[in-house]
Amino acid sequence: MTAALAAGTTSAQALALGALPIAAALCASAVPLARGRLDRLATPAAICATLSLATAFGYPATGVRTAPAWKLAEAALLLVLLAAVVRWSPWREARIVAPLTAVATAAWPFPLVDGPFLERTGAAAFWLLPAVAAAAAGAYPRRVELRRRAAVTEARRAQRLQLSRDLHDFVAHDISGIVVQAQAARFVAATDPAQAVLALERIEKAGLNALESMDRTVEMLHGPARSPAAALPGLDHLPSLVDEFTAAGGIDAELRLPPETAEALSREAGAAAYRIVVEALTNVRRHAPAATLVRITLTPTPASVELQVSNDAPGTPRVPLPRRRATRGGLGLPALTEHAEALGGTLTAGPHGAGGWRLTATLPRTTAPASAPAPVPAHAQEPQQ
């Protein structure tokens, strides 16, 4: 009778110890699962793993051995929690709870195997394989999600950079022209009202150009209806750009554009050339307002088209400009250098002559230069009658 009672008590204790980790984990998981917070399963996993290790290795002290069926159920629950923790939990929690859960999953057969230590260790090592598989099952979708987020972040960054470059290259050019025209109109308004009216007309045109540039940028942000190169002006807009720059006063500009240049460059390369000229003229207007002449030359070569924009040494400005607040270097030249290199070309800038500045860019041509027909060999010519 006493032996039967002791056996019943031992069975009840074994049942309680076997159900304790599972019950505790399910209770701790109830609230996060009800709220859909799968990122809060690290705590239930840690509780289940800790209790599983305690019941597994507490046999020598308690004398109560948990039934293998309960330990197998614990292992299954631990594998599910391990995959969930690796998939959704914050990394600072997952890097602590995931190894603990994996150890608990692998260690559950250790006290149940009746054999030498090496045999028990082998059984535990075997159960590391399901733990590794569960961790991999949770890590793969997490890595895919992280890569997706990184791609979205990089796309947004590229979009912001494109927006800032467009605003810097085009809007800043038009705004600098507006400032120069406004200053000229202020100085000639009292003595020559007709010139002031012309300056106001040029201010209006520059403002419309700035609005057009902003509309083009917004259109590019709304969707890929057109390619960026197709939306931007190209080589055919260079003459009007140079005329507007010269009409703004203060600095004269000369353009040398051979007719075959437009056929030698692709649409994207032509848009890049236009952007480079805009940036160069803007820099001359902002940083060398005392220059008197800017030369813009495009020279086709057998393999590329060379673009040079140079200004002479500063002289006496026709219209005195106010001193500008010191600012950091703009994004223009570094961004244009990257753009030219992406197209397979180069871009350099530096001092030129006695105090001047020169920008040189090479853009690969898409069409071979026209060449004279090859002479017919003498032995291939028809004999004269």
State pTM to two decimals: 0.53
**pLDDT confidence tier of residue 154, bands split at 50, 70 and 90:** confident
Of the candidate ranges 35-39, 193-197, 267-271, the one whose mean pLDDT is the lowest: 193-197
**Would you say residue 70 has pLDDT above 50?**
yes
More confident residue, 188 or 333: 333
pLDDT of res. 366: 81
pLDDT of res. 58: 61
- Taking a C-beta distance cutoff of 8 angstroms, is the pair 55, 107 a contact? no
What average pLDDT does the segment 258-287 reach? Answer: 86
What average pLDDT does the segment 298-316 reach? Answer: 86
- Taking a C-beta distance cutoff of 8 angstroms, is the pair 279, 240 a contact? no
Tell me the domains of the chain and their CATH numbers.
9-126 (no CATH), 227-316+332-367 (3.30.565.10)
pLDDT of res. 207: 80
pLDDT tens per residue across span 212-241: 777 776 776 665 545 554 457 888 889 988
pLDDT of res. 59: 55
What single string gives the DSSP state of each residue in 114-128?
A: -S-HHHHHHHHHHTH
All residues at 6 or more sequence positions from 233 whose CB lies less than 8 Å from its CB, including other chains: 241, 271, 274
More confident residue, 322 or 77: 77
pLDDT tens per residue across span 75-116: 888 899 999 999 999 988 998 999 999 888 888 777 666 667
More confident residue, 268 or 63: 268
Residue type, 80: V
Ramachandran angles phi, psi of 305, nearest 5°: -120, 125
What average pLDDT does the segment 6-28 reach? Answer: 66
According to DSSP, residue 362 is labeled E
Distances in whole angstroms, Cα of residue 361 to Cα of each of 74, 193, 277, 306, 374: 69, 42, 10, 6, 32
Residue type, 1: M
pLDDT tens per residue across span 107-149: 877 766 666 777 777 777 888 888 899 999 999 999 999 999 8
- Taking a C-beta distance cutoff of 8 angstroms, is the pair 313, 322 a contact? no
pLDDT of res. 300: 92
**Would you say residue 329 has pLDDT above 60?**
no
Cα distance between residue 314 and residue 331, in whole Å: 24
Instruction: Please tell me whether residue 253 adopts helix, strand or coil conformation.
Output: strand
Residue type, 313: A
pLDDT of res. 179: 76
pLDDT of res. 254: 93
Residue type, 169: D
Residue 11 tokens read as 């069975």
pLDDT tens per residue across span 159-187: 677 667 666 666 766 777 777 777 767 77
**Would you say residue 340 has pLDDT above 60?**
yes
Q: Cβ-count burial of 230 within 10 angstroms (0-12 exposed, 13-18 middle, 19+ buried)?
A: exposed
pLDDT of res. 305: 93
Residue 193 tokens read as 């009202």
- Taking a C-beta distance cutoff of 8 angstroms, is the pair 39, 88 a contact? yes
Average of per-residue pLDDT values in the chain: 77
Q: Quick one: what percent of the chain has pLDDT higher than 90?
A: 17
**Would you say residue 306 has pLDDT above 70?**
yes
